[in-house]
Amino acid sequence: MALLSLSNRDPWSFSTTTWLPGGLLLAVLMMSRLNLWPVWLVTTLLLHTLCGLYSGRPLILAALFALFDAFTLPLCALALRYITRCERSEGVREPLLALTSLIAIVFGSGLLLMLCLKVLGDDISLFHLVSWSLALLTSILAFWPLTDALNREGKALVAGGRRNILATVGMLVLLLMLFLPSWRHLSPMLYGFNPIWLIFTGILLLALVLEPRVLGAVLLLQYLLVIGATLYERGLFVGGDERSLSAIWNAQWYLLFCSWLGFTTNRFARHTRRLKNQLQQRARIDNALAPAAATALFRLYLTDRRLIWQTPPDAFFGDGYAVTTLSLLEARSVSPFDADLEPWIAGGREEPFRTRIALLLDGAIVRCRMVLLGGDSRDEILGGLAVEAAHPRGGE
């Protein structure tokens, strides 16, 4: 991938007009522990430098480009990790924050690289900044959606397998039909119609229905196919008397915004479905707990067994004792319920979990019903408590 990228250079410096391995390194860093980063960065420096020397770069320039590659991509990975950690609700604000951060980091590094080349005596144009930064940014945004989906969902099975397969195969067939042939002599036959809009519309429509991992794979395959076809002077971006540099820039601008808008649209669609599902779960919980003297709703996060109360649990813990975990809730119960709950959590969770528990409250036993709903999240469960009756201690 590096040698293919280095075979296509801009006319203003020893830089390349595309950089395929950049997004791959970002994906590796995003999916690796921090203590493994030095290994990946050292090997990146060595491989990048050797590929630069093999392609004809002087040693100092080959080392300089490799150094900026190993400097910029970890900063991008750290920024994306921080933004993802702060935006756990999977809202639509995360893609905008990520794009803004990536643009600032990549173009800032590109400007610093250009100044270093100026210091070394290279007479380069300002267009080098756009060429180097655009190549790296396009590669990052092509790999990021798939990496983000794998980090969030792990190896969980993808729902709607047949729909995902048919949609993916259809898009790949369309891409192959439009980018494998040469359009140099066919462009006059299109009479102003640009097939790029057909692909762009298809990607956005797929983003509304596909699972994130499937969409990420489609965006990555589109990036590799479009860049590869354009470098070999094929596809929709190469036509007429257009120069190869202009063609690769057009392809990269398209891929940059297509990847980002596809990821944002997919995140917005998932966020909307998530809110709708939460409303449906709330209605199911209310129906399961009614009628009751008092109710309290909570969310159970399975990673740390943490409880977040959606409504005040004053009727159950009026003494101000903070029940913030499932273990503390079980400690307030007369009889444990964890033995019945764990098999349900480990299972399919298709049916609601229902049990009766007795809570100790100020010398009294409060009899309650507890209901849990599995939902569509593997790490989050909606639950509720309903008061049935209260008796003095020993009145059983």
* 143, 220 Cβ separation under 8 angstroms: yes
Q: Which amino acid is at 62?
A: A
Distance from C-alpha of 278 to C-alpha of 236, rounded to nearest angstrom: 43
Between 104 and 358, where is the model more confident? Answer: 104
Residue 17 — pLDDT band, cuts 50, 70, 90?
confident
pLDDT tens figures, 25-42: 999 999 999 999 999 999
Q: In this prediction, what percent of the chain has a pLDDT beyond 90?
A: 26
Torsion angle, alpha carbons of 104, 106, 108, 114, to 10: -160
DSSP 84: H
pLDDT at residue 357, rounded to an integer = 84
Q: Please, where are the H alpha helices in 232-243?
A: none
Distance from C-alpha of 56 to C-alpha of 49, rounded to nearest angstrom: 11
pLDDT at residue 107, rounded to an integer = 93
Tokens read off for 94: 């995360």
DSSP 35: G
Bridge-based pairing of strands 306-309 and 353-361 is unpaired
Distance from C-alpha of 204 to C-alpha of 185, rounded to nearest angstrom: 29
- In sequence order, what E strands does 270-379 have? 295-301, 306-309, 353-361, 364-373
pLDDT for residue 215 is more than 80: yes
What values do phi and psi take at 293, rounded to 5?
-70, -35
Distance from C-alpha of 42 to C-alpha of 26, rounded to nearest angstrom: 14
Determine if the peptide bond prior to 291 is cis (ω within 30°).
yes
Torsion sign (Cα): 205, 207, 213, 217 = positive
Tokens read off for 290: 């009614």
346: Cβ contacts below 8 Å, ≥ 6 apart = none
pLDDT tens figures, 84-117: 877 655 556 788 888 999 999 999 999 998 888 8
Torsion sign (Cα): 157, 159, 303, 269 = positive
Which residue, among 193, 142, 198, 141, has the nearest Cα to 175 in the 3D structure?
198
pLDDT at residue 328, rounded to an integer = 84
Residue 242 — pLDDT band, cuts 50, 70, 90?
low
pLDDT tens figures, 250-297: 899 999 999 999 999 998 888 888 888 878 877 888 787 777 777 888
Find the length of the chain: 396
pLDDT tens figures, 174-210: 888 888 766 555 554 455 667 888 889 999 999 998 8
pLDDT at residue 353, rounded to an integer = 86
Which residue, among 177, 168, 222, 215, has the nearest Cα to 195 in the 3D structure?
177
DSSP reduced 3-state for 356? strand
Distance from C-alpha of 129 to C-alpha of 133, rounded to nearest angstrom: 6
Q: What is the mean pLDDT of residues 63-79?
A: 92
pLDDT at residue 392, rounded to an integer = 47
Residue 393 — pLDDT band, cuts 50, 70, 90?
very low
Expressed in angstroms, the distance from the first to the final Cα of the chain is 74
* Mean confidence (pLDDT) of the chain: 82
* 344, 353 Cβ separation under 8 angstroms: yes
Question: What's the Cα-to-Cα distance from 114 to each of 3, 7, 8, 107, 256, rounded to whole Å?
Answer: 22, 20, 19, 10, 22
Residue 333, beta-bridge partner list: 359
pTM comes to 0.78
pLDDT for residue 320 is more than 60: no
Residue 124 — pLDDT band, cuts 50, 70, 90?
confident
pLDDT at residue 14, rounded to an integer = 64
Distance from C-alpha of 283 to C-alpha of 189, rounded to nearest angstrom: 57
pLDDT at residue 23, rounded to an integer = 92
Tokens read off for 331: 């400690």
Neighbours of 47 (CB within 10 A): 15
